[in-house]
């Protein structure tokens, strides 16, 4: 057999063809990788759709960089982006289990009170510790908020401090009890459950609160169930250590705290809302509300939380359903990831449905 060597022209043509094939293949691979990356980012942002127990199409919880279980309250606070607090009232013997499930779902901010009548504060301590051990979290990953409750708000048979002691001593005993119940050596946020019967007594309690901050037992202070603008403003002006939290019901009977919320914005006070869903059921059940929720890949309930966070406020969620916990964390993480969930027009529409006259 005679082997004929290819001519130089044929060799060059062969090499050119081979080079073109390699280049085209590389371009196709790069394009495919870019497409996969964009799809991944899209899923991270919007989530995939599934039907939830709340009866709406909802985005599946997609864990951000790392995992939701590695989220930290400390970093959420540093981001200055909205978040949701897990509320623990009326959970009784189920408190520890529910708090643990809430933490595993992604909650890091937890609200309770030294008030056995409505809260199992020790259960909160057991719950967060159990979940922290399971997930490899530390105390600094959590934001624990508790409250001092006056005798007026206590069950006479379950008072967590000596009712015969001076008011100042009752406050000190209450904090000591909270530290033990929550299994911690400091409280992130100590809130007065409501103003006292007189302003003088309110200020006496506040002065003890301020001493706790000076002793590094408490990081910040707050007030709850205060619907009188003058009382809040007077306490703010008279206090040495200013309140950083106002926790109120968000409902029509108080006019949705329009003036108080404006004050909070002006003074850098976090407005926390509770009874956020229960007090606004009619609006949340409306056809218009449900339509917007569906359009935003939310449930009507998480749309309410999105509304509050869009206003710069911090809602409390007290759900006992794990699916709902994950839905709540999902909308919180959408805000934490910088998504603009609601436009200005959306917020105005929801305000109108609620009857909020901003």
Domain boundaries, the chain: 73-354
Q: Residue 25, SS3? A: helix
Question: pLDDT of 87-132, one tens digit each?
Answer: 999 999 999 999 999 999 999 999 999 999 999 999 999 999 999 9
- Which of 94, 150, 153 is CA-nearest to residue 124? 94
pTM of the prediction?
A: 0.82
- Residue 357 structure tokens: 């006259």
- Alpha carbons within 13 angstroms on the beta-carbon side of residue 174 total 31
Q: What is the dihedral of CA 262, 265, 267, 270, to 10 degrees?
A: 110
Distance from C-alpha of 344 to C-alpha of 156, rounded to nearest angstrom: 48
CA angle 267, 342, 68 (to 5 degrees): 85
Output the pLDDT for position 106.
98
CATH architecture classification, 73-354: Alpha-Beta Barrel (3.20)
> Residue 10 pLDDT > 90, yes or no?
no
Question: What phi, psi does 89 have (nearest 5°)?
Answer: -70, 150
The model's confidence at residue 70, banded by pLDDT at 50, 70 and 90, is: confident
At CA 109, angle to CA 107 and CA 248, rounded to 5?
Answer: 120
Nearest one of 312, 315, 313 to 275, comparing CA atoms? 315
The pLDDT value recorded for residue 357 is 87
């Amino acid at each position: 057999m005679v082997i004929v060597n290819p001519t130089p022209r044929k060799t060059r043509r062969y090499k050119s063809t081979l080079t073109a094939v390699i280049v085209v293949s590389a371009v196709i691979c790069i394009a495919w990788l870019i497409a996969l990356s964009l799809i991944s980012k899209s899923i991270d942002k919007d989530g995939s759709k599934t039907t939830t127990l709340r009866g709406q199409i909802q985005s599946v919880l997609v864990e951000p960089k790392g995992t939701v279980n590695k989220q930290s309250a400390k970093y959420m606070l540093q981001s200055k982006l909205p978040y949701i607090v897990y509320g623990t009232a009326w959970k009784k013997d189920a408190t520890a289990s529910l708090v643990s499930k809430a933490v595993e779902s992604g909650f890091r901010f937890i609200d309770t009170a030294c008030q056995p009548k409505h809260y199992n504060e020790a259960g909160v301590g057991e719950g967060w510790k159990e979940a922290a051990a399971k997930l490899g979290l530390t105390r600094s990953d959590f934001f624990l908020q508790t409250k001092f409750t006056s005798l007026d708000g206590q069950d006479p048979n379950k008072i967590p401090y000596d009712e015969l002691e001076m008011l100042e001593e009752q406050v000190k005993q209450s904090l000591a009890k909270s530290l033990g119940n929550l299994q911690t050596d400091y409280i992130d946020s100590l809130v007065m459950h409501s103003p006292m019967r007189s302003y003088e007594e309110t200020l006496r309690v506040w002065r003890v609160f301020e001493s706790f901050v000076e002793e590094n037992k408490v990081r910040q202070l707050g007030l709850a169930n205060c619907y009188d603008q003058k009382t809040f403003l007077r306490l703010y002006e008279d206090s040495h250590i200013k309140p950083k939290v106002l926790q109120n019901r968000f409902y029509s009977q108080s006019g949705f705290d329009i003036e108080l919320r404006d004050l909070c914005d002006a003074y850098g006070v976090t407005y926390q809302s509770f009874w956020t869903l229960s007090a606004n059921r009619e609006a949340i059940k409306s056809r218009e509300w449900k339509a917007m929720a569906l359009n935003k890949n939310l449930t009507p309930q998480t749309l309410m939380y999105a509304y509050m966070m869009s206003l710069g406020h911090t809602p409390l969620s007290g759900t006992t359903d794990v699916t709902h916990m994950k839905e709540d964390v999902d909308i919180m993480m959408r805000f934490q990831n910088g998504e603009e969930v609601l436009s200005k027009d959306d917020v105005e529409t929801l305000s109108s449905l609620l009857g909020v006259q901003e």
